[in-house]
Amino acid sequence: MGEYFGKIDILCNNAGLGLFDKAENQSDEIWETMMRVNLFAPYYFSREVASGMIQRGYGKILMTGSIHSTVGMCELPLSAYATTKGGIEMMTKQLAVEWAKYGITVNAIGPAYFPSEMTGDVIDDDGFKKVIEMRCPMGRAGRDGELDGAVLYFCSDASTYTTGQLLSVDGGWTAI
C-alpha cells in the first residue's frame, strides 16, 4: 500500500452502506454485505495503514459512526446498520487503546441525518422530515459544512490528546 500511496498520516474511514430491512425479513446476504462494508473494511484499512503509522510513531484514524452507534430507532428497520455502527464505536475505542502507545489517535464522528447519496431518499421524505422534527432537538437534518469542524479537529494536531472518542454531530438527537 505504501509503495503506491506513499506514507499515510491520516485515514478517514468513510465508506458505508445503508441497506434496510426488518430483522425478521433480512436476508443473510444483506447482513453480510453490511458487515463487510461498514465494519470489516474500516478494520482492515485501519490495520493496514497503522503498520506504517506505528513505524513512524504518528497517525490519525477517523472512523465514521452514526447516531445509531449509540441509539436505536423505531421508525426505520436498522438492525444491520445499527449493529455495524455500534461496532464502529467499540472498534474506535479498542484500536485507540491498543495504538495510543505508538502515537496514533483513533476517533469517530457520529453524524445524525445529513444530505448524502445514502440518506437522500430518507431525509427528503415528508414523513421522515416529521420524524426528524420530533426526535431532533434542533428540529432539522444536518447541513453541508456542519461536520467539517469535527473532522478537522480529529485530523489535526489540536486533537493529539484525544483518542477513543465518538463525537455526535446530531443537533442534540442523542441527548434525549
pLDDT digits (tens, 9 = 90+) for 88-147: 999 999 999 999 999 999 999 999 999 888 787 888 889 999 999 999 999 999 999 999
**Worst-scoring range by mean pLDDT, 20-29, 97-106, 156-165?**
20-29
Q: Is 81 a catalytic residue?
A: yes
- What does each C-alpha distance from 78 to 13, 73, 117 come to in angstroms? 20, 7, 17
pLDDT in tens, 62-98: 999 999 999 999 998 999 999 999 999 999 999 999 9
Of 4, 44, 58, 81, catalytic: 81
Task: Name the band, by pLDDT with cuts 50, 70 and 90, for residue 5.
Answer: low
Whole-prediction pTM:
0.94
Residues of the chain above pLDDT 90, percent: 86
Reference 59, options 167, 166, 171, 157; nearest CA is 157
Total residue count of the chain as it appears in this document: 176
H helices, E strands: number in the chain: 7, 4
3-state helix, strand, coil in the chain (%, to 5): 50, 10, 40
